[in-house]
Amino acid sequence: MADTLAETPGRGRAFVVQSLALAIYAAWVITVGLHHEAWFDEMQAWLLARDNSFATLIGTYARYEGTPGLWHAILWVAARAGLPFAGIWVLSVSCAIVAAAVVLWRAPFPLPLRIGLLATWYFGYQYSVVARGYCLDLMLLPVAASLFATRVQRPLGYGLVIGLLANINAFSFLAAGLLGLELLVRLVQGRRLTDWRAIVALALAGALGLLAMWTAWQPADNGFMAQVTRMNPISSAFVFIANALFDRVSPWSGLHQNGAEVLVGMLLSIAFLAVTARLVLAGRDRALMLTIPPVLIVFSGAVLASSWHGGMLFTTVLFVLWTQWHNPVGPRTRNALIAMLALLEIAQGMQTLRSGLDDIARPYSAGRPAAAAVMVWRAAHPGARIDAFGGQSFETQPWLPYNVYGNYHDAAPNPQFVRWNNDETWHALPRPGEWNATLATRPDAVLAAVVWLPAAVKRDPAAAACAKGYVLTQTFPAAMQWRGIPINNTLYLFERAHTGPCVV
C-alpha cells in the first residue's frame, strides 16, 4: 500500500508532463497545418477521390498511383462528408496526434526520449502536416508496436493493424507481410490455432493483404516509371537510409549539403542501425527485426524510393526499437542507444522547426493564387489557349472549376487529375527538352513549374522566354520544405508576345 501511494505522485507528474507535451505537439502541427498549402501529391490523391466513384477509384485509378487504396478511400469519404481541399491537412494531423499520444503513453523509452520523438522530422512535419497516406503509417506502426508483446495472447487487434498497414503503400505492405508471417509462426508455436480469435486474426490480416495486392497490382499501361529519373540502386538505397535518419551533420543549415557533410551523416546513420542491431541480437525476435529494415532498404534501391519514403524506414526502425527496448543488453549498449536516439531527435528537431516556421512564413504551393490568375487571364482572353508545363502547374486544379489547359485532353473539362497511362501525352514529370516542344505549338499562354524548366530558363526566365517569343507576365513564388531546406516551387505565367522586342 505504501509503495502504491509513493508511486502515485510520480505517475501524476508524468501524466501532467505527457499531457502538456501532447498539447504543445498538437498546437504545433495544427498551427503549421493551417498555414500549409497542399502541393501536387496531396492534390492528386484528393482529385482522384473527389472525381471518381468508389469502385472506379479503388478498382482502377489507385493502382496507377503504385499504392493500395486505403488513403484514397479515406479521402473519398472525407470529400463526400464535406471536407474542403483546403482542410485536407486535418486528416494527417489527426493521425499524427493519435500517434503522438500512443508514443507518449505506450512507448517503453524514457519520457524525455518519448517527448523528443514528437519533434523528429516525420512526426513534427513531413508525415503530419503534409497530407499523404504516410500519416497512416505514422499512426499504425506505433499502435502495432504497442500490441506486439501480447500478439499471441490477443491477436485480433494486432491482425487488424497488420492488414491495414498492408493497404497504405508498398513499403508498409512489405513490412506487414513479414509481420503477418511472424504472427502465423508464433501462433503455430504457441498452439493457438484452435482459438477462434487466432483464426479470425490471421484471416483478417490475410484478406486485407490480398485486397492490398489486388488494388495495387500494376496495370500494363502504367507510364509513371517511364517519366521518373532514377538513381542507381546503391545510391538510392543510401539516400533512403540518410533520409530516414541523419541526412547531414549540419541539420540547422538551409543549404543543400554534399561531400563530407553527407558522408558523416551516412556514417552516423549506419552507426545508429548498428547499435539497434546489437539490441535486437539480445532478444528472441531477432529473425524478424533483422529482416524488416534490410528488406525495405533493398526494395528502395531495386524498385523506387523518393526522398519522403525515408520515413518508412524511420517508422520501421522505431518499431524495432520499441518492441526490443527491454532486451537484456549491457549498460554501454543501452547508453549508446539513448545517446544516438537523443542525437537523432535533436538533429531532426532542428529541421522540423525550420521547416514549420518557413511553411508558416511563405507559401509551400502557389496553386491557389496561380489558379485565380489563370481564370482572370481566360476571362480577358476568351477563346485563347493556355497550356500547363510540369506537375506543379496542376496544383491549380483543385482551385479551378474544371480543367482549362489546352495541352491536357484538348482542354476537356475532365479529368483534372493526372492520368499516368501510357497513352497520356501530357507529362507531369517532363524532361527539360519538352519545354521547347511545348512552346513550339504556340499556345497563347503557359503556366510553368520552375522545377521542370531547362537550366537556362531557370537562370533568367524572362530573357529565355523572350527569345522564344513569350513574355513573363506573372510570378507565383512558393517553396517546398525538405528537412529545413527550401525547394523552389514557383510557378511562372508566360504569355505570347504580340508587340515589343519579344515578338518572333
DSSP assignment of 179-225: HHHHHHHHHHHTT-TTSHHHHHHHHHHHHHHHHHHHHHPPPTTB-HH
- Continuous segment of H or E residues that includes residue 487: strand 485-488
Quote the DSSP letter at residue 389: E
Name beta bridge partners: 476.
491
Q: What percent of the chain has pLDDT over 70?
A: 98
pLDDT at position 2, please?
Answer: 43
What CA–CA distance (Å, rounded) separates 325 from 109?
Answer: 7
How does residue 6 score in pLDDT terms, banded at 50, 70 and 90?
very low
Q: What size, in residues, is the chain?
A: 504
Nine-digit cell string for 234: 546503391
User: Whole-model pTM above 0.75?
Assistant: yes
Asked which of 12-26, 44-58, 233-247, 394-408 is least confident by mean pLDDT, the reply is 233-247
User: Are 189 and 329 within 8 A, CB to CB?
Assistant: no
pLDDT class of 485 with cuts at 50, 70, 90:
very high
Residue 338 one-letter amino acid: I
Residue 410 phi, psi (nearest 5): 50, 40
Smallest CA-to-CA distance from 341 within 48, 112, 101, 51 is with 112
All three cell numbers of 366, joined, read 502557389
Residues in contact with 398: Cβ distance below 8 Å, sequence separation at least 6, in sequence order: 38, 43, 46, 47, 85, 367, 416
Q: Quote the pLDDT of residue 392.
A: 96
Task: For residues 452 and 428, give the distance between their C-alpha atoms in angstroms, rounded to a whole number.
Answer: 9
Helix (H) or strand (E) holding 270: helix 260-281
Q: What is the DSSP letter of 58?
A: I
* pLDDT value at 340 more than 80: yes
Cell 512535419 locates to 125
pLDDT at 261: 82
Q: Which helix (H) or strand (E) holds 299?
A: helix 292-302
Task: Answer whether residue 7 shows pLDDT above 60.
Answer: no
Q: Which residues of 409-436 are buried (b: 16+ CB within 10 A; e: fewer)?
A: beeeeebbbbebeeeeebbbbbeeebbe
- Terminus-to-terminus CA distance in the chain, angstroms? 91
- Cα-Cα-Cα-Cα torsion 235, 240, 242, 245, nearest 10 degrees, comes to -160
Whether the per-residue pLDDT at 227 is higher than 70: the answer is: yes
pLDDT digits (tens, 9 = 90+) for 95-152: 999 999 999 999 999 999 999 999 999 999 999 999 999 999 999 999 999 999 999 9
**Closest by Cα among 330, 331, 340, 332 to 276:** 340
Residue 67's nearest CA partner among 309, 264, 372 is: 309
- DSSP for 82-120 reads T--GGGTHHHHHHHHHHHHHHHHHH--S-HHHHHHHTTS
165: closest CA among 156, 157, 175?
175
- Structural element, H or E, at residue 5: helix 2-35
Q: Which of 381, 208, 410, 380 is nearest to 402 (CA)?
A: 410
pLDDT for the residue numbered 162:
97
CA 398-56-415 angle, 5° bins: 35
> What cell numbers appear for 425 in the block?
501525352
pLDDT, one tens digit per residue, over 146-158 is: 999 999 999 999 9
pLDDT of 180 above 50: yes
Structure confidence at residue 1 as a pLDDT band (50, 70, 90) = very low
pLDDT of residue 82: 95
Span 344-396, pLDDT tens digits = 999 999 999 999 999 999 999 999 999 999 999 999 999 999 999 999 999 99
Mean of pLDDT over the chain: 93
Beta bridge partners of 482: 485
Cell of residue 29, nine digits = 502541427
pLDDT at residue number 229 = 72
Q: Does the structure show a pLDDT above 60 at 4?
A: no
Instruction: Give me the residue label for grid cell 496507377.
Output: 64
pLDDT of 41: 95
Q: SS3 for 377? A: helix
Per DSSP bridges, beta strands 491-496 and 445-449 are: antiparallel
d(CA 376, CA 262): 46
Using DSSP's 3-state secondary structure scheme, residue 289 falls into helix
Nearest one of 161, 150, 144, 134 to 74, comparing CA atoms: 134
